[in-house]
Structure 1
């Protein structure tokens, strides 16, 4: 008789096989191993009650997965599966002899564009949590130089504080929306978001509830007002109209 525990054991064996090849269980959703859909299986395991509703069974299964890869569920560390996989890819490239300066957009590992991802990490350094910054720093990665910002002045020579404050609020809102979008896409593996969907996200240790469906709709309606960097960030996350 085929039981749920037997199925879990078979999928766990597939996860071990994938780890032996890729060095991580930060698996793309479409990945397979030993003819098992290990990517989808791990995605399901990471969801609430994904290891079963029985607490004791779920605890045992979590321990079994942690024995294969202690970082099998990156959300517990404060980042996404996508971030974890790219970080492992960066490590693999460096271990193979590549220099940081050589890892530019277009340099890939197992199908992921590590160079493009690395450019984003350096550009968006302030959005990373302390542990992410530490891990990248250990590999010789640091923040990109801050761009020089132009300021506008009023007729009497004073800076326009109201405009600057408004721009800061807008940037913070975009940052929250982008973080929520990345989290949603990484979990659900799709970019079609129900308009009524609200995505809880943690940024700099603070909880936010982002009305993600509405936010995406608003960005699309005002896309002519988004700057090139914001459009590029949305495009990087698979938003086709950007």
Structure 2
């Protein structure tokens, strides 16, 4: 799964635990439901053992556990910057990778409820701060925005730019420069007029070239290392006024 601000897709148990704990009030209550084996992840186990107290661990009931294999962690968030590490809880969570350990040592949720175990939830802010605002007519700001240097700079940057090519290059173009022209669309379309009128189409050819290196070790064994490099070539097709097709590679 990939979040809105994430650069890559990954499992979200650790990410969401870390994110949500930041917004949880001190002494606030967390109910964290993930697959049982994920509690054995050292990052998750260490985080839970460091930031929460008055904890409880329960698994889904016997009727549901085989289908979902999930466990529920409940605990209150610790206060202060310096938090004591709960080694016993950490060791317990690390062992939850084993289904046998979970079935033998983690209490089903229905039995947990029957035991009448309770957690306290701290009260929220009782008095809300008062803030003041006012509505303004947007027409009062239009003229100032239009005449501002920042808005003019924004308009100039937002304008689509037209590619203009003319004259002859001082030196022959190399492959990299031709690739830039291909990417900008400058090597496609109509070129010239009259007797010099041509139709041109440019293509970039990408090839994978394998290369093998053999390394002989002191014990006589040989290791083969295969490296693949990418080679880019430029191909240009031209139709002359006489209808002749030329291909330049």
Same fold (TM > 0.5): no
Higher relative contact order (CA 8 A, sep 6+): 2
TM-score interval, normalised by the smaller of the two chains? under 0.3
Q: What TM-score, normalized by structure 1, do the two folds share?
A: 0.19
* Rg larger in structure: 2
Identify, as 1 or 2, the structure richer in strand: 2
Identify, as 1 or 2, the structure richer in helix: 1
Q: What TM-score, normalized by structure 2, do the two folds share?
A: 0.19
